[in-house]
Amino acid sequence: MPQDYPALIAHGLDDAHGMAVLNPATGELIASVKTYSGGEIDQVIRAAEAARKDWAAETAKFRANRLRDWFDLIIEHREQLAEICTLECGKPLAEARAELDYAASFVEWFSEEARRAYGEVVPSFASGKAIVVTKEPVGTCAAITPWNFPLAMITRKSAPALAAGCAMVIKPSEATPLSALALEALAARAGIPAAILRIVPSDDPAEVGKLFCTHPVIRKISFTGSTAVGKLLLAQAGSTVKKACMELGGNAPFIVFEDADIDAAVEGAMIAKYRNAGQACIGANRLLVQRTVQGRFVKQLTERVSALKVGNGMEQGMQIGPLINDKALQKVEMLTDAALSGGATRVCGGGRHNAGAQFYTPTILTGVRQDMAIAQQEIFGPVASIIPFDDEADAIRIANDTPYGLASYFYTTDLGRAWRVMGALEYGMVAVNEGLLGTEVAPFGGVKESGLGREGSRHGMDEYLELKYALLGGLGAG
C-alpha cells in the first residue's frame, strides 16, 4: 500500500457497511467506503451553501493562497496519489503519475486565475450614468465524475469553482472514490473549509444525479460521462434552470493523410488510442488512413502495438492495464467480434489477455467501415479500427459522420491542408500533428452531442461566475 494511504482516506472508510472498492487488475478488495443517502447529501449541500458565503467574501488572494497550498500538498503526495489511482482504476503507474501532474496543474492554474475574475466598465449610453459589469460566484455547485481519470476530473471541476468563490459537492464514480477522498483530505489540510469541498460517495448514482439536478440550493451541475446520462441530467436540471457543464461521449477521428510524417503519426496514435487501455472519451475511436499510406502505417503501428506490455499497473514496465469491469470488457468483445463478422480483418490481438479476468489484448482491425457499430460507438478499449479513405473531402465526410464532436486528430505536413481540415472538422478540440491535447491552459469541451461548456483555461473560470450589470444614475456634475 502507498505510504500515508490510510491517513488520506481514513475519513471516508466504513469497513462494516461500506461500498466495496476493488482492484480491477486483481479483483481484490482495496477498501470499503462510506456511502451517503439522499438525506445526508441534502445536509451536505445545505452546509455548503451556508459556508460558501463566507468563502466568497474572502479576498481573491486568500482563496488563491489556499488553492496554492492544496497544489503544494498534491505534489508532495504525488507518489501516494498515483498509487491509489492505479490501485482503483488499473492504469499503469507511469500513466497515473502523469494524470496526477495533470490534475495538479488545474489547481495551480486556477489558484492564479482566482485573482483575475475581472469585471468591466462599459462606455455609457447617456450622460450622468455609468455601466459597471461585475462577476460573482454562481453559488453552490455539484459535480459527478467518472472513473477513468479519477484525480484530474476532481480538480478540473472543483478548482475553478473554489477559485470563483463557490462551494462544490462531488459524487465520484462508484469504482474510484479513493482518489477523490484523498484529494478532499489534502484540501482540508490546505485550509480550504471542509464544507466548501465535499466528496459524497454513493452506490445509487441515479438518485444522487436527480437530487443534484432538482435541489433548490444547487445552482450549477457539472458532469463527465456518457451522452445518454448527460441528456437525462440536462432534462432534470431544467426543472430548476441550473447552469450546466457537460463533457459527454466522443467518437474521435484520427486522420493520417498521405503527406503525413508516418513515424510521428504512429507515435501519436499510440498515445491517442492506447493510453489508459483506450478508456478515454478523447481517445482515438476511428483511425482514418489514406489508402496510399495505409500499408506502411499499419505495419509500423502493428510493430508497436504487438510489443505493448499488458499487466497489473503496479508492476514495473506495464503499459496496458485492465478494463474497469467485466461489462466494459464484454462491450469491447462484442464490438470487435461484430466487426470481424462484418468483414473487418484482425491484424493483431482480438481477444482476452491472460494477464487477468479484465484484460483485453491490444488489437488492430483493418477493413472497418463507417457503418459498423465499432465505428459508431465508443469502443473504450485497446482496439484500433482502421478505416481507409481516398482524399481530403472523403476524410472530412467520414470524420464528421457522427453525432459527437469532442476531440479530433490529424497528421499532415501540408500547411494549407492543416488550416482547411482544422476548420472543417466539427469538433470542440482539434490536434494537428499531436496525439495528446489535454492541458490546463486551453478550453476542454465538445460540440454537438459531446457536451456543453468548457473546462480549463480562463473560460473554465467563467463557467462558475455570473455577470451582474449595474446601472448607476444620478452622476451629473456636482
Return the percentage of the chain with pLDDT > 90, whole number.
97
**Which of 133, 138, 199 minimizes the C-alpha distance to 165?**
138
122-163 pLDDT, tens digit each: 999 999 999 999 999 999 999 999 999 999 999 999 999 999
CATH, domain range 252-432: 3.40.309.10
**Amino acid occupying residue 393:** A
What does the alpha-carbon distance between residue 112 and residue 108 come to, in Å, rounded to a whole number?
Answer: 7
What integer pLDDT is reported at residue 258 of this predicted model? 98
Helix or strand run (H / E) with residue 22: strand 19-22
Decide if 45 contacts 218 (C-beta within 8 A). Answer: yes
91-119 pLDDT, tens digit each: 999 999 999 999 999 999 999 999 999 99
**Which of 66, 63, 43 minimizes the C-alpha distance to 464?**
63
User: What residues contact residue 147 under an 8 Å CB cut-off, 6+ apart?
Assistant: 88, 89, 172, 173, 174, 175, 176, 324
What integer pLDDT is reported at residue 478 of this predicted model? 65
pLDDT at 414 over 70: yes
CATH, domain range 5-248+450-469: 3.40.605.10
What integer pLDDT is reported at residue 3 of this predicted model? 63
27-62 pLDDT, tens digit each: 999 999 999 999 999 999 999 999 999 999 999 999
Return the percentage of the chain with pLDDT > 70, whole number.
99
Decide if 209 contacts 232 (C-beta within 8 A). Answer: yes
For the chain, what is the largest distance between any 2 Cα atoms, rounded to a whole number of angstroms? 85
Catalytic residue among 281, 392, 455, 463: 281
Residues 331-351 have a mean pLDDT of: 98
Beta-strand runs (E) in 161-242: 167-171, 197-199, 218-224
Residues 260-269 have a mean pLDDT of: 98
Q: Catalytic residue at 281?
A: yes
Residues 363-391 have a mean pLDDT of: 98
Alpha helices in 279-357 (DSSP H): 291-306, 326-341
Catalytic residue among 83, 95, 108, 247: 247
Write the burial class of residue 6 (CB in 10 Å: 0-12 exposed, 13-18 middle, 19+ buried).
exposed
CA angle 343, 346, 352 (to 5 degrees): 120
What does the alpha-carbon distance between residue 337 and residue 321 come to, in Å, rounded to a whole number?
Answer: 21
HSE-up of residue 53 (Cα within 13 Å, Cβ side): 5
What integer pLDDT is reported at residue 119 of this predicted model? 95
Decide if 277 contacts 321 (C-beta within 8 A). Answer: yes
Q: Catalytic residue at 213?
A: no
What does the alpha-carbon distance between residue 232 and residue 234 come to, in Å, rounded to a whole number?
Answer: 5
All three cell numbers of 360:
483485453
HSE-up of residue 159 (Cα within 13 Å, Cβ side): 33
Residues 247-261 have a mean pLDDT of: 98
What integer pLDDT is reported at residue 7 of this predicted model? 87
DSSP letters along 83-97, please?
HHHHHHH---HHHHH
- pTM score > 0.85 for this model? yes
CB atoms under 10 Å from CB of 121, counted, come to: 9
In Å, what is the CA distance from 114 to each residue of 66, 121, 132? 11, 20, 20
Boundaries of every domain in the chain: 5-248+450-469, 252-432
Three-state DSSP class for residue 233:
helix
In Å, what is the CA distance from 394 to each residue of 84, 364, 411? 45, 22, 15
Residues 273-297 have a mean pLDDT of: 98
Residue with cell 477523490: 180
User: What residues contact residue 193 under an 8 Å CB cut-off, 6+ apart?
Assistant: 51, 54, 55
Decide if 365 contacts 339 (C-beta within 8 A). Answer: yes
Average pLDDT of the residues of the chain: 97
Decide if 111 contacts 164 (C-beta within 8 A). Answer: no
Residues 255-276 have a mean pLDDT of: 98
What does the alpha-carbon distance between residue 410 and residue 138 come to, in Å, rounded to a whole number?
Answer: 37
pLDDT at 4 over 80: no
